[in-house]
Each structure stands twice: as structure tokens, then as C-alpha cells.
Chain A
């Protein structure tokens, strides 16, 4: 269980995240949506301790994030960022192996190799494991990064726009993978998503942010409604249902 309480972040005079409080359910997939500049990524960075919050508290399993030992925290929560520029030449397997660092500080044992193997095969990378990452396509690299995070074997996995640079089919694959992390492995996944239909189709809960504030949050059914989305994006959004799933149409406004 993660709990965010009255968290605020300023950059100079600008308030980027303003007094946000919300609980995040364990064992579920939570999607964070909202317009550009709403503070979604900043909130994610604070929750994953990449940047400190100015005021407020964030709790992970009842203990404040700041007071966790850095090495221990890395065994509980992992984060995947938007940009993945690596200047170094690594093979896929070497990259994925870094996920074991919190446990063995770089000295891989047989258990590590088992976990690396299973992470690679879970993301369908076994064939590619000896390829250098600079020869991969955007989708393959994204999967390799997820495999690294999976290898870190944390209860909580945070992702900042994992669908960036992915085409439709890879986008669907990625969301299916994240879904199976929740359903099969019992992970808690928190992800920032721009495509609202992906959020509606795959997530359990949705957190909507607007202008640095929490706009609304709740289960998908309650959140994907015309009244919420119209106000959130200041657009006229049409909701249709097809085979029991809700989809948003907003392309012609």
C-alpha cells in the first residue's frame, strides 16, 4: 500500500504539484492521466524518490519513503523513466543483470542468473539476449528496460509513459505485459499513460491530475465518464461502449 499525503513540489515560483493526497491500492494497476504539464511525471518522480518533495509525506508499506534505506527501498520499488538514452555499449543480458544490483551489488550468483533468465523469457527477449542494446528497435529496448525492472523483483513498479515510441501493436503488447505483471506476479503497477483508451482498457484504477492538483481518482468505471473527462481535458469527449469496454472518442472536436 502506498499513501501520498499533502505532497507539494515547487520549481521556483511555479507550483508543479499542489497538495496532492491519494492512496494507491496494492496489487492493482493504477494509471495516471491528465493533460500535459499536469504534474504526473513529477508526482511519479517524488513517489519513486528520484526527487524530494517540498512538503507532505509519502508512505510505502507504512514507512515514510525518505526514511527507507536506499538499498532496501530499491528492493521494494523500481521505476522506469521516459527517456532511455544509454551512452554505454551493453548487451541486453548485461543491461537486465543490473536489476540484480540491490541484492548482490554486482556479484551475480546462480539465483540471479535464474531470475535474469526468467525475466528475459517473460518479455520474449531470450533470443535477443546477446544483442547490443544500440542495435535494438525502440520497442525492443523498451522491453529490455522492463525486463531489467522485473529483474529488480520489487513489489511496486512505476513507469513513466512506457508507451512512448511504441506503435499500436507494441503498445498493446506492453500493456498486456504490465497487466500480466499484476495478474500473474501480484505486482503493483503505477504508470503514467497519455492514451486514455489504453488506460481505460487495461488499468484497475485511474488517477487524474490537472494543473498540479488531484482532479479525481477511482476505479476505471467511475472515471471513464463524460463528465469527468470533459472537465479534465476541457474537451468534448464522446464515450462509446463496445463488447462491454468503454472507449473515448475525441479526435474531432
Chain B
């Protein structure tokens, strides 16, 4: 893509973000503009943060696995998060401090997800270096196990508690606790900045493991590092708004189509902006069309799922 075209696309993306942000802030304020601003303004940082974390982690993950239909959720972190929430509600009940105290829940979720992934990757990168797909398979199987176990508990849980648990397991910006945003920023920003800086090295990974080695990249250690960063970003996002893996999938795949480049610096920025546009449109729909009767997670799953099918059919046809 030529530089002029590229600038055009970025300008369009920035402009649509500004337009939708303006709409989001001003639609239906019923004259209480400052009240709406202070209430809605709180969500802007999470919108941008989640747009970046999901998209960047998905793109890195897809480059590492050389597969554009995988998302980091395959390593089972979302499932682990849902299992944790389910176990807390099942064992302690919905009024226990672990369920009601957002900060405590956030920290516990984060610790568990990070602990789980550090343990798993450490084991794999020590014992089976280079066996990336074995690692993914193990993650997939564990994730399925966590999901099945969660479902089992959810079936026998008290219906009232299930109702309140269910809202935890679907991604939503409506429940974002503003006090968690700073912690999330503190954790995610350094990882994001590091990955942006690494974009040229990440470009080399497109050539595959052996050529990356040939070009002087210490590939096994590098993969370990990238996996840790992806886990951190996924864990922060999931603990903040719930499982949103399809959002990163949408942003990443549309960015591949629109920018038609291998360069991570462009894909990171472009894909993240696309995701942010999706979040803003989705949130507008949730708040003003569906009157909070649904959550952003449902809309993203719906749109993302459709797009996933489209890509699958296209791949099948060659």
C-alpha cells in the first residue's frame, strides 16, 4: 500500500473514532450534558485500552502460530477466568467478599491467569522447545475441560446466583469498575509499548521459526517472552471487561485485508483503531438501541462469529 493511501486509511479511522466518540458522548443526554459526560467519559479509557490489548495480542499470537483464524483464547485463559468466577459463586455465594469486591476479584483473576500461563509455558519451553502446536493443543484441551466444569457447576448452582454470575462471564463495558482502570493501564501499557517497539523483529517471525533463527533471533526464548506478554494482555482485558477474544480477531483480520501488509507497526495501530471503532459502535447500539437489554460481548460474539464463518468459507474455497 502506498504511503498516501495508508495515510488516507488512518485519517478515515481517526475521523470515525472521533465521530462515534462524539455520538457516544452526546446522544440522548436529555439536557444533562455534564452529567452524561462525567458518566460516559469514564469508559473512554477502557474502550481504547481494550481495543489495543485484544488486537495487539491477537496479531502477535497469529504471527507466532502462522494462522490467522486463531485467537489467544485457544490457550484457555478466558475459560480459566470463567471457571474462577463460577467456583467463587458456587463455593462462597454471590455475597462473599470475593464476588462483591471488584479489586480483590480482579487481582485474583489476574494472578490465577498469569500463574497458570507461566506454569504451562515454563514447562513447555523447557521440555518441548519449538513444539508450539503441542502447547496450543494442551491449552485447548484444558480450556475445554475448564468450560465443561464451569457448565457443570452452573447447571447445579442456585438460579439467582447463576443470573448474577452470567453477567460476569459475558464481556461488558457497563460493569467496568473505574478503580480498576489505572491498575490495568499500569500493567498493559508497558507491554503494549514494548510490542510496538518490537514490531520489526516480529515481522521476521512471518518467515517461520527456522528463518528467524537463521537471521539471529533467539527464537525459543523470544516465543516464551511473547507468550508471557500475550497472557498478560489477555488476562488484564478479561479481568477488566470479560472474555472478548472475537474483538481482537475482527480487528486483526480486517486490518490484514485493509492494509495488506506484513508490517506489525501498521497492523498494530490500524487493527487497534478498527477494534475501537467496533467497540464504539457496539456500545452505542447497546446503550441506545437495545437500551442495555444486551451487552457488548453478545454483539461482538455475533458479528465476530459471522466474520469468522465468512473467513472459513473463503479459506475453504481456496
**Residues of chain A whose beta carbon lies under 8 Å from any beta carbon of chain B:** 48-50, 70-75, 78-79, 81, 85-90, 94, 98-99, 101-102, 105-107, 152
Contact = CB atoms under 8 A, between A and B. Distances in A.
Contacts of A78: 214
Given A50-B213, A102-B216, A89 B262 contact: yes
Q: Which 8 A-B pairs have the closest CB atoms?
A: A106-B200, A74-B216, A88-B206, A71-B216, A101-B215, A102-B216, A87-B66, A70-B216
Contact of B207 (A48, A74, A75, A86): A86
18 contacts: A50-B213, A70-B216, A70-B218, A71-B216, A73-B216, A74-B214, A74-B216, A78-B214, A87-B66, A90-B206, A98-B203, A98-B204, A98-B215, A99-B215, A101-B216, A105-B200, A106-B201, A107-B200
Interface of B: 66-67, 200-201, 203-204, 206-208, 210-211, 213-218, 260, 262
Contacts of B210: 50, 79, 81
A89 B66 CA distance: 12
Contacts of A72: 216
Query: Which among B201, B208, B215, B260 has the highest number of chain A CB atoms within 10 Å?
Result: B215
A90 B216 contact: no
Most chain A CB atoms below 10 A, which of B200, B201, B216, B217: B216
A85 B204 CA distance: 14
A98 B208 CA distance: 12
Given A74-B216, A101-B216, A106-B200, A89 B260 contact: yes
Contacts of A81: 210-211
Contacts, number: 58
Main secondary structure on A side of the interface with B? loop
Given A98-B204, A105-B201, A106-B204, A48 B214 contact: yes
A78 B207 CA distance: 14
Contacts of A88: 66, 206-207, 262
Contact of A90 (B201, B214, B215, B262): B262
Contacts of B214: 48, 50, 74, 78-79, 152
A94 B201 contact: no
Contact of B203 (A74, A75, A85, A106): A106
Nearest to B256: A89
A156 to B, nearest CB: 12
Nearest to B261: A89
Contacts of B217: 70
A223 B200 CA distance: 46
A98 B216 contact: no
Nearest to B66: A87
Contacts of A75: 216
Contacts of A85: 208
A199 B298 CA distance: 63
Given A70-B213, A90-B262, 9 more contacts: A70-B216, A73-B216, A75-B216, A79-B214, A87-B66, A87-B206, A88-B262, A101-B216, A106-B204
Given A50-B210, A71-B216, A152-B215, A94 B200 contact: no
A70 B222 CA distance: 12
Contacts of A48: 214
A48 B214 CA distance: 8
A102 B214 CA distance: 9
